[in-house]
Chain A
Amino acid sequence: MHQLEPIPEGVRQALNAHGITDAQIKLCAAGDMTTEGNFAEAWLVATEQELCILTGVKAVVPKDKRFGRKQVAEQWQEVSYRTVALSAIEEVKAQSLNGNGLLVITIGEQAEVACRYSNTMARKFGQFARLLNKLRKGEQLTEKDFTAEVYQPQCPTCGRLYPNPTRRVCPRCLDKRKLFMRVLSFMPRYKKQVIQILLCMFAGSLLQILSPYVNNRVFFDEVLNPAGKYAGRIFSAVLVMGAIQLVSIAASIAHGRINAELTARVVFDLKTSVFQAMQRLSLSFFTSKETGSLMTRVNSDATHLQYFFHDGFPYFIVNAINLIGIITVMLMMHWQLTLLVLLPTPLIVLCVTKAFPKLWNAFSRRWRHNSALNSLVNDALTGIRVVKAFGKEDTERERFMQRNTKVYQVNMQVGHIQAVLFPVMGLIMGAGRPIVLSIGGWQVISGEITIGTLMTFLSYLSMLYGPLEFMTHIVDWWSSCMNAAGRIFEILDATPDVAERKDPVRLPNLSGHIELNDVSFGYEPNKTVLENIALEIKPGEMLGVLGYSGAGKSTLVNLISRLYDVQEGCIKIDGVDVRDIAVADLRAQIGMVLQDTYLFAGTIMENVAYAKPGATIEEIIRACKVARAHDFIIKLPNGYDTLIGHRGQNLSGGERQRLAIARAILHNPRILILDEATASVDTETERGIQEGLESLVKGRTTIAIAHRLSTLRNADRLLVIDKGKVVETGTHEDLIKLQGHYFKMLEKQRNALKIRGVEVSEHQLAGRAG
């Protein structure tokens, strides 16, 4: 039996009661809304003969008593049931509205809503509609129709929706302890340093604990006391004290040095792996996140971890040893007094568990606001030309002020909380001292303990609260570090949507035959950009793709070059599904020239050679000549050595474009994609580049997207896309005869030229006559 998702027991019983047996069910899917727009469950179940629409009440949220009566949460209760004969249905369509979607069935002339669903279900119902149409036409559904994974949007442990459907990791169920262990797992690579550090720490702690004992107990009771063991040997005692101090300091210096080296190394490794992981990810990961937030992740989160490694974790161990050591020694010296001194400890714990979450919340808010501020600065600086061009400096300053004010406010909040929290903690912790002084003092007078013991005790007491206070901080350290680690691991773990198969097909020599079978795709679940595209491009053919903006032209080439994966249907190159081809082979043989050329900071030479690092100088110059870039490069004072800055701002749009074309020529791909490659070039320059392009296009499969119809003068065939569908295809002459979309576009461009006072013939416009 095939279906889109498993049927829960209650629904199965309801279906059985209506005479639908499990064996009859061919297809089923659950929606989450009634047609009136209330959240409830509705099942669409199709047999070979009919479509059953079953709605019922079952709260989407289980078991919380604030969500209503318990039995509602647990039991499926049927509300309505109706069936429609499949033979009566003319068409099934998943229609996406802005806030939700409708599954519309057309019976006779009448369209009606079979099911309404939230955007969460949009993709599932798109698939449902497609399969139901097949079923309706009497076609059998096969395994292949269900190759897409069973829709599973929720974490099985906690029932939370996955924040990222492509990454089946539930951050909520992600074990923080595991995270911590994983952070620590960066450490074993540096075994030697870790062992050295541990030795230093042990030595340091031991001496630290020893020193008050020698300084007070031994000095007062054994040296100054005439009856003592070392009576009168003041000089030796001071010498021992000094030696302890010196060794202790030496250990601490060694520890600090090794530690600094280690943490810097760990953070270095961490940043490297994060950056590597980011490069590995698919385009969709980057478009869904703001660049500013990504930069914060690499930099600030890694720094957070550095703090933890440097200031947090080692001191945690030192303090833990100190704490245990001190308490042990205190207990040995005077256990009753020790227990009394430790009385306020539960209060401290209470303080940490109750008051600290507030502080953490504020910290995380501070991170968010800072991140938002960073994005804004990033935006404003990247778009500085637009800001200046419209004279909007004041507006930008205003926007900055707004976000900066928020950062200021949240900083103040953090400060306020800290200002209250820490002194109160200090007060609670200070409560031990009067206890020791009063009870201990009385015991000294009565001769129960020596003055040395009391002094030692007071020293230990002051040493005890340091680590204790630190331990309360460590929770905060831990928490913010784990948050940072979580974000970093999210990137490290994110699986690219466009992943290479385990044993990919190697195709080092493509012929360039491209085939698209029923390809559908959308960047967002509720918006299809391309719908059922079928297309074949022969090796060496040049296909011109036309359409209004937003028609899906660029998406088409993004899919062919596999920057994204198709959601339905498949794309084959040389008869092999692109998802099966080794990514390296694919990238090596597909070249793209885009409208918005990105030039990296570096010389012109380096930028052209980007696609082929080993290229000889002759090859590079030849490529530039073909791209009509050589002449302008030669005229630059630094020629090919000219440094181009961020986005090549010291070059004109046309010049940058020509460099991009040179890059593609050098790359020498089997399949060439020109996405508005000459859009930012004036007609005159275009004519120049055109010759370059012509020689580039020769002998390769080329897909050229253009607004300007004259750009496509050499295309063997034209394809017109409108609203994600292929509406026309054929040669220039074919499409003129058709008098459809292409004809209209041609007319419009001619009108536009007329406005400029240019008279053109139809052939000139399409560039056929040269």
Chain B
Amino acid sequence: MSTNLPDALAEYAEIVFLAPEKCKFSMTAGGFLALEYGEDKFPVVSAYRSFPLTLGDKYISIRDDKEKEIGIIVDLADFSSDQANLVRAELERRYFTPVVETVVKMKEEFGYIYWEVITDRGPRRFTSRGQHDSIVPVSDTRILILDVDGNRFDVPDVRLLDAKSAKLLESLM
């Protein structure tokens, strides 16, 4: 029997890039994303970011209701703004990450950090494990805070916070 590596592994190696002109996203009455791709119709699809922290609008994996990948959107910017916003809304729901606007209180005790923050989604109190386990430095000025339950809070730029908040956070960086 002949050996044929590409054939055997083809289904793993191939990436389907979704062509913007063939995609038609829509919103179901229940608030879920649906897709018509050429001839194919998907009543419910979900969208995943490949690089949730660094490239939020690029390399978005669109999956069917069985979580099988339909294809990848290289860049949402290639889509019309209506279409892009539909996908973006779905992404934002999945990667729910409130942005911290003010740090009201932050106290570290016994290896846990207690927070009181005001986010763009409202005020929130949470507890995170010690600094090393819960603060993800994304860049020199951006951090992601993970709480004990796995909720995520984003601080896109520490320098843009008010002085008090920045000072509280700087002690962790």
Binding site for B on A (CB under 8 A): 33, 35, 37-40, 59-61, 64, 66-68, 97-100, 102, 104, 110-113, 116, 118-120, 122, 159-165, 171-172, 174, 289-290, 293, 361, 364-365, 368, 371-372, 375, 483, 486-487, 490, 524-526, 751-752, 754-757, 759
CB pair A119–B123 under 8 Å, yes or no, is no
Let me know if A67 and B111 touch, CB within 8 A. Answer: no
When chains A and B are docked, how far (Å) is the Cα of A59 from the Cα of B111?
27
Q: How far is the CB of A726 from chain B (nearest CB, A)?
A: 17
- One of A38, A112, A113, A120 near B149 (C-beta < 8 A): A120
Measured in the bound complex, the distance between the Cα atoms of B112 and A60 in whole Å is 20
Identify the closest chain A residue to B150 (Cβ): A119
Question: Is B129 a contact partner of A755 (Cβ separation < 8 A)?
Answer: no
Contacts A110-B29, A361-B171 known; A524 to B1 CB distance under 8 Å? no
Partner of B110, one of A37, A368, A486: A486
Residue in B111, B119, B132, B171 with the greatest tally of chain A CB atoms within 10 Å: B111
B131 to chain A: closest residue by CB: A368
B132 touching A487, Cβ below 8 Å? no
Report if B20 contacts A (CB, 8 A).
no
Residue B22 lies at the interface, judged by CB distance under 8 Å to chain A: no
A61-B112 contact in complex given A97-B93, A754-B1, A757-B3, C-beta closer than 8 Å = no
Candidate in B110, B125, B131, B149 with the most chain A CB atoms within 10 angstroms: B110
Number of interface residues of B (CB under 8 A): 50
> Which of chain B's residues has its CB closest to A161's CB?
B127
B122 within 8 A of A: yes
User: A111 CA to B102 CA in the complex, in Å?
Assistant: 36
Give chain B interface residues in 29-84, CB to chain A under 8 Å: 29-32, 44, 52
Q: Offer 6 A-B interface pairs, CB within 8 angstroms, sorted by A.
A: A60-B122, A61-B125, A112-B29, A120-B149, A172-B109, A751-B8
The listed residue (A98, A120, A368, A751) touching B95 by CB distance below 8 A is: A98
Task: Report the bound CA distance from A66 to B117 in whole Å.
Answer: 10
Name B152's closest neighbour in chain A (CB-CB).
A99
Counting chain B CB atoms within 10 Å of each CB, which of A119, A486, A759 scores highest?
A119
Q: Are B122's CB and A64's CB within 8 A?
A: no
Binding site for A on B (CB under 8 A): 1, 3-5, 8, 28-32, 44, 52, 92-98, 102, 104, 107-112, 114, 116, 118-119, 121-127, 129-133, 147-152, 171
Total contacts A-B at CB 8 Å: 142
Give chain B nearest CB distance to A166 CB in angstroms: 11
If over half of A's interface residues share one DSSP class (helix, strand or loop), that class is named, otherwise mixed; here it is: mixed
CA of A37 to CA of B95, assembled, Å: 11
- Alpha-carbon distance between A720 and B62 when the two chains are bound, in angstroms: 27
A551 to B119, CA, bound (A): 36
- Complex CA distance for A67 and B105, rounded to whole angstroms: 12
Given contacts A161-B125, A171-B109, 14 further A-B contacts (CB under 8 A): A35-B31, A37-B121, A39-B122, A60-B125, A66-B102, A97-B95, A98-B96, A111-B30, A111-B32, A119-B151, A160-B127, A171-B110, A293-B130, A751-B8
Which of B8, B131, B152 is in CB contact (< 8 Å) with A752? B8
The 10 closest A-B pairs by CB, nearest first: A112-B30, A99-B96, A39-B122, A171-B110, A163-B112, A100-B96, A120-B149, A97-B94, A486-B110, A119-B150
A111 & B127 in contact (Cβ 8 Å cutoff): no
* Complex Cα–Cα for A442 and B109 (A): 53
Q: How far is the CB of A113 from chain B (nearest CB, A)?
A: 6
B residues within 8 A CB of A752? 8
Which chain A residue lies CB-closest to B52? A98
Complex partner residue of B31 from A40, A113, A165, A371, CB under 8 angstroms = A113
Residues of chain B within 8 A (CB-CB) of A172 are 107, 109, 114
Neighbouring B residues of A159 by C-beta, 8 Å: 125
Q: Are A37 and B112 in contact (CB under 8 A)?
A: no
Q: Which residue of B lies closest to A406 (CB)?
A: B173
Q: How far is the CA of A172 from the CA of B97 in the complex (A)?
A: 26
- Complex interface: chain B residues within 8 A of A104 (CB): 30
Closest chain B residue, CB of each to CB of A61: B123
Contact across chains for B130 and A368 when beta carbons are under 8 A apart: yes
